[in-house]
Every structure is written in structure tokens, then in C-alpha cells.
Amino acid sequence: MLPRREATALDGRRVVDVAIIGAGFAGLAAARTISLLDPTVSVGLLEAGLIGDGPAGANSGFIIDLPHEVSSDGFGQEAAAKFRQSVLLQRSAVALATSIADELSLAKDIFDPCGRYSIAMSAEGDKHLDEYASLLTHMGEVHRRLDNADTAAVTGSKAFKTSLFTPGTAIIHPAAFVRAWADALRSKINVYERSPALSIERSGAAWLIKTPAGSLETGKIILANNGHAQSFGFFRRQLIHVFTYASLTHEFDPAELSGHRKWAATPALPMGTTVRRINTAGGDRILVRSRYSYNPDIAVTPGAISRAGKLHDKKFAHRFPGLRDVGMEYRWAGAMALTRNHVPAFGEVEDDIIAACGCNGLGASNSTASGIAAAELALGRDSDLLQIYRSMPAPTSIPPEPFTTIGARAQLAYREWRAGVE
Ligand SMILES: Cc1cc2nc3c(=O)[nH]c(=O)nc-3n(C[C@H](O)[C@H](O)[C@H](O)COP(=O)(O)OP(=O)(O)OC[C@H]3O[C@@H](n4cnc5c(N)ncnc54)[C@H](O)[C@@H]3O)c2cc1C
């Protein structure tokens, strides 16, 4: 990991035109967009912890350009329009990430526009990939179907039944990428780390955000703190707090696994397992991401990480029996905020407070896009992207407790069961 000097915490009272709360994908995208659209606008970006330590730095690193699922209305006009909207939105994120990588000359191990495999382990997954490939053909999207032997030639594993390659996904080293991005922004805007926004209150015509050691007076606020937006009273009973889990192996000798030294695969069925092979100077590693849990208090226990780890070990052994002696070195979990009707928690929630929250899973793409749109809205600009966000309905309310907990846990269990070996 590249060495970095963390930004100072906010102290004293500062005045900015726009304050952004949260330095994940949404907050960083909003900050970058404002600094590009109007460099005269002063911006203060508040991050509660250290940039890269949160979900934006602890994910699997896929900036995905295509929607995952085949719509239930097949190839109908409405489904096609929705597909194109998602593509525009997700590709705006890939384009932004690509421009950052170009500007900063990021190495391939931090940003690589290498595409993604969708991998099937079962007959059901295989069927899903066939349907998805037909959809991509219908939509004119480039893709390649790989049989068992071709998939094994890439992954070094015969456990994967078939796969489908699409070239538009960018793969990042998430922590290194968001830190490099934030550090480059520091010449244009004020970035404050270890500076959680504790409260938002009116101060005459302005807003005042208080942190433990200081305050930001601002004309506008962009809320980019995902599920934590509810701690300021926004989107109460509209956000569903879900954690997902990952494990990363120790480094192993590349000769122990044939195939490409670097590839990245998402599961054929949405709730399945993501797998990545990463090559570093010291050897190769495999990342396994699987398991979802519903955590309404936005916190996870070491026990839950350990239980998910046992599942990862099983999935890893099934896929790579030849690497049975390579154990996991790191395990972690991270929060996501979903909504019941799968729309973002986006828009002006109060005068001059704009939300870019509710990542709904694919946050590397979706939150980046919503951060761009939130910045455009804050500056009074318009774009096709912002029009898409304006056309989306508000997140629907979730039922009162204990019904949400029971329902969410049952849904996750059912969908994980459906994903089966995937
Ligand atoms: C293990 C794992 C793997 C994943 N893999 C992928 C993947 O491959 N591709 C993908 O697209 N998505 C993936 N995701 C999901 C993705 O990481 C999230 O959707 C994404 O990070 C959401 O971005 P965001 O900017 O909306 O929110 P976050 O990344 O959560 O950023 C919000 C930031 O706000 C800060 N914050 C919160 N409260 C305050 C406050 N009061 N004051 C100041 N700051 C505050 C937090 O510290 C945090 O840094 C994965 C998630 C996990 C956990």
C-alpha cells in the first residue's frame, strides 16, 4: 500500500460553500465533480474515520458497468429502457474512475479496466448466464461465453461450470484507489479525516455542522454517508442495513494455481460468491466475498465475521481444492444501505441538504454516479444523469419492527439458499 499522510481533523469554525458528509464513493465523486464544474466553489469534505477504512475501501473492487439481473419483463420496451438507464449511470462511474486513474497514472494493481467474468457453478447458474447473454445480445452489448475448459484456463479451477465475460468493468484495489483519489483532491478542496459530523443545525440562513473539535458553516450540504444518513433523522424507516463479508488468503506461490494470474468474477446468481485472484510482488492471493446479514444497528460482531469466514473457507475449498493448505490472512465485513424498492435515497431532503445515499449494493458504481448527480444538483446544473435520478421514486417505507427484521432475515436466507453453490 502507498504511504500517505492523513488529512487533519477539523478544528475551529470554518466557512465553506458546500460541505460533504462522508468520503466514500458518493462523497468523493461529489467533491471531484464540484471542483471540476466550478473551482471557485469552496468545499469541505468530512470523513468520520480514515479514508479507505470504510466500505469504499474495503469492498471487492468491482466498478461494474452493467446491471446484474435479467428483468422479469424480459426484453420488453420498459426493461430495455431501464437497462439503458442503469448502463448510463454505471458507466458514468467507470468513466470517472478511468479519468482519475489516467490523471494520477495509477498502476494496474490499483486500477485495471480488465473486465469481469460472471461464473456459474450449477445448472441453474448456467441457465441464468444463457438468459443474461441473450439479453446482452439483444441490447448490443459485447460479451463472450466460456465453456468449462475455457473457464478453467482463466481460473485454474474446473469447479466453475461455465462463465460469461464482459469487458466494461474496472477492477480496483479499493483502499489504494479511494485514498489516492482523496489525496489528489486535497489540492482543490478541504478534506478532514477523523471528523464525524455530529449534528446539523440552522445558523441564520446557513447550516452549521458540528464535529468533535470544530464546526463547518455552509450554504449547502451533500449527505454522502450512506446508511448513516438516518442518524440526522433522514430516511428513517426507509433504509435496510445489510452487511456483507470477505476473506483474503495468504500469499501463495503462483505455480500452485494454473490459469491467469489476475481475474475477477461475480456469481451467476445475485446472492452468490464473488471471487478474485490478485497478483502481488510477493505472490498471489484469492479474495472470497459471500454472505449477507441484516444489521439494523449498523454494527457487526466478531462472531458474525468468524461465522462468515467458515462459509468462505468452504467455498474456497470447493473452488480451489489444490490450494487446501493456503489459509485466510484477513477477514472483514462492511455495511451497505438498501431500499425496499431498490432506488437510491437521493435528492433534496431539506432546503439545501442533498442526499446521495442508499447504495443498494453496487455502490462503487451507483454511489459514484449519485455523488456526481448530487454535485450537479447542488450547483444548479442539469444532465442526463441527473434527469435519471430526478425521475426515480422515493424509497418506500419498511414495515415496523419486528416485521422488518423477520422479513429481511427470511428474504436473505431464502435468496442465499436459492443461490446454492453459486
Ligand atoms: C466486503 C464488501 C464487498 C463489496 N464489493 C463491492 C464491489 O465489488 N463492487 C461494488 O460496487 N460494491 C461493493 N460493495 C458495496 C460498496 O462498498 C458500497 O456500496 C459503497 O462503499 C457505498 O459507497 P458510499 O459512498 O455510498 O458509502 P460508504 O462507502 O459507506 O461511505 C460513507 C462514508 O461516510 C462516512 N460517514 C458515516 N457517517 C459519517 C458522519 N456522521 N460524518 C462523517 N462521515 C461519516 C463513513 O465513515 C464512510 O466512509 C462491497 C461491500 C463490502 C462490505
DSSP of 201-229 = EEETTEEEEE-SSEEEEEEEEEE--GGGG
> Is the Cα torsion angle 220, 222, 225, 228 positive or negative in sign?
positive
| 247: Cα within 13 Å, side-chain hemisphere | 24
Nearest residue by C-alpha to atom 4 in ligand 1: 59
Q: What's the grid cell of residue 331? A: 477477514
pLDDT band at residue 412 using 50, 70 and 90 as cut-offs: confident
Measured in Å, residue 79 CA sits from the centre of ligand 1 at: 28
pLDDT in tens, 276-303: 999 988 899 999 999 999 999 999 999 9
Residue to substitute in 28, 60, 332 for testing ligand 1 pocket (most ligand atoms within 8 angstroms of CB): 60
Ligand 1 contact, 128 CB (< 6 A): no
Q: What is the pLDDT of residues 217-269, one digit of tens each?
A: 999 999 999 999 999 999 999 999 999 999 999 999 999 999 999 999 999 98
Q: Do the strands 111-112 and 170-172 form a parallel or antiparallel pair, or are they unpaired?
A: antiparallel
Tell me which of 419 and 145 has the higher pLDDT: 145
**The whole model's pTM is what?**
0.95
241 bridge partner residues:
337
Burial label for 80, CB within 10 Å (0-12, 13-18, 19+), is middle
With a 6 A CB cut-off, is 90 part of the ligand 1 pocket? no
Mutate to test the pocket of ligand 1, among 51, 367, 372 (most ligand atoms within 8 A of CB): 367
Task: Report the alpha-carbon distance of residue 363 to residue 358 in Å, rounded.
Answer: 9
Mutate to test the pocket of ligand 1, among 92, 181, 200, 225 (most ligand atoms within 8 A of CB): 225
Confidence of residue 151 (pLDDT cuts 50, 70, 90): very high
Cell of 312: 468462505
Rounded to the nearest angstrom, the distance between the alpha carbon of 208 and the centre of ligand 1 is 24
Residue 86 lies in a domain: yes
What is the rounded CA–CA span in Å between residue 243 and residue 299? 8
- In this prediction, residue 2 has a pLDDT band, given cuts at 50, 70 and 90, of low
* % of the chain exceeding 90 in pLDDT: 87
Residues in the chain: 422
Q: What is the pLDDT of residue 150?
A: 98
Measured by CA distance, the residue closest to atom 52 of ligand 1 is 59
Structurally, how many domains does the chain consist of?
1
pLDDT digits (tens, 9 = 90+) for 354-392: 999 999 989 999 999 999 999 999 999 999 999 999 999
Nearest to 118 by CA among 281, 267, 246: 267
pLDDT on residue 408: 75
Angle at 296 between CA 294 and CA 301, to 5 degrees: 70
- Which cell numbers hold the place of 146? 466460456
Residue 25 lies in a domain: yes
* pLDDT grade for 90, boundaries at 50, 70 and 90: very high
Query: Does 398 or 27 have the greater pLDDT score?
Result: 27
CA distance 161 to 373: 40
Residue 148 has pLDDT above 80, yes or no: yes
Question: Which of 14, 377, 12 lies closest to 206, judged by CA?
Answer: 14
Cα–Cα distance for residue pair 354/225, rounded to 1 Å: 11
The pair phi, psi for residue 101, each rounded to 5°, is: -60, -40
Q: Confidence class of residue 1 from pLDDT cuts 50, 70 and 90? A: low
pLDDT for residue 82 is more than 80: yes
pLDDT in tens, 59-70: 999 999 999 776
Average pLDDT over residues 323-338: 96
Task: Work out the percent of the chain whose per-residue pLDDT is above 70.
Answer: 98
Nearest CA to ligand 1 atom 9: 62
Inside any domain, residue 63 = yes
With a cut of 60, say whether residue 215 has pLDDT above it: yes
Q: Does 58 fall in a domain?
A: yes
Asked if 68 and 74 touch (Cβ cutoff 8 Å), the reply is no
Q: What is the pLDDT of residue 380?
A: 98
Average pLDDT over residues 39-54: 98
Q: What is the tens place of the pLDDT at every residue in 154-167?
A: 999 999 999 999 99
Q: Is a pLDDT exceeding 60 seen at residue 81?
A: yes
Whole-number Å distance between alpha carbons of 398 and 406: 12
- DSSP code for 413: H
Burial 355-383 (b: 16+ CB within 10 A, else e): bbbbbbbbbbbbbbbbbbbbbbbbbeeee
Mean pLDDT computed over every residue of the chain: 94
Query: Which H helix or E strand runs over 159?
Result: none
Q: How far apart are the CA of 355 and the centre of ligand 1, in A?
A: 14
* The predicted structure's pLDDT at residue 403: 74
CA distance 309 to 330: 9
Ligand 1 atom with minimal separation from the 362 CA = 11
Domain that holds residue 88: 9-110+169-236+341-391
* Residue 36, domain CATH: 3.50.50.60
Please list, in sequence order, all residues whose beta carbon lies within 8 angstroms of the beta carbon of residue 206, skipping any fewer than 6 positions away. Answer: 217, 218, 219
The torsion angles phi and psi of 380, rounded to 5 degrees, stand at 70, 25
Mean pLDDT value of segment 304-316: 97
pLDDT at 4: 84
User: Region 109-123: what's the mean pLDDT?
Assistant: 97
* Per-residue pLDDT tens digits for 18-42: 999 999 999 999 999 999 999 999 9
Q: Is 60 contained in some domain? A: yes
- Which residues lie below 8 Å from residue 178, measured CB to CB, with a gap of 6+? 23, 24, 25, 28, 51, 52, 56, 57
Three cell numbers, residue 291: 454472505
Q: How confident is the model at residue 73 (pLDDT cuts 50, 70, 90)?
A: low
Cell 416485521 maps to which residue? 403
Quote the ligand 1 centre to 316 CA distance (angstroms): 25
How far is Cα of residue 290 from the mean position of the Cα atoms in its chain? 14
pLDDT value, residue 12: 96
CB 88 within 8 A of CB 97: no
Best of 228, 276, 370 to mutate for ligand 1, by most ligand atoms within 8 A of CB? 228
**C-alpha dihedral over 78, 79, 84, 90, to 10 degrees?**
130
